[in-house]
Amino acid sequence: MTLVKVGTRELKTKLSEYMQRVKKGETIIVTERGRSIGQIVPIQPTIEEKIQAVVDAGLADWNGKKFKPGKPAVINRSEKQISDLVVEDRNVDYLP
């Protein structure tokens, strides 16, 4: 991500040029008398657009439907939860 600082007067006179730069992914910091007062940032793509880009690149297949998660591969049949086991493991003093 590229940051560009520009004064309000220059931004006003060259607005279309700076908007083209924003379209290409640059962020424009707008200044007034040397102090930053705002920024113009490109719109981030939606998750659907990101997924479609991966599909278009040939890295994945997707039918457009929501993902249905499967059943867990491991089922905990003990009385303890995984978090209890982690806490127990942290309480062990390994140093003599």
Strand order in the sheet with 3-7: 3-7, 27-32, 35-40
Each domain of the chain, given as residue ranges in start order, spans: 1-91
CA–CA distance, 51 with 72 (Å, rounded to integer)? 25
- What pLDDT is attached to residue 72? 73
- What is the model's pTM? 0.51
CA–CA distance, 28 with 16 (Å, rounded to integer)? 13
CA–CA distance, 22 with 9 (Å, rounded to integer)? 18
Q: Is it the case that residue 52 has pLDDT exceeding 90? A: no
Tens digits of per-residue pLDDT, 15-32?
999 999 999 989 999 999
18-27: long-range contacts, CB 8 A cutoff, minimum separation 24: 25/1, 26/1, 26/2, 27/1, 27/2, 27/3
Topology classification of domain 1-91: YefM-like fold (3.40.1620)
- What pLDDT is attached to residue 40? 95
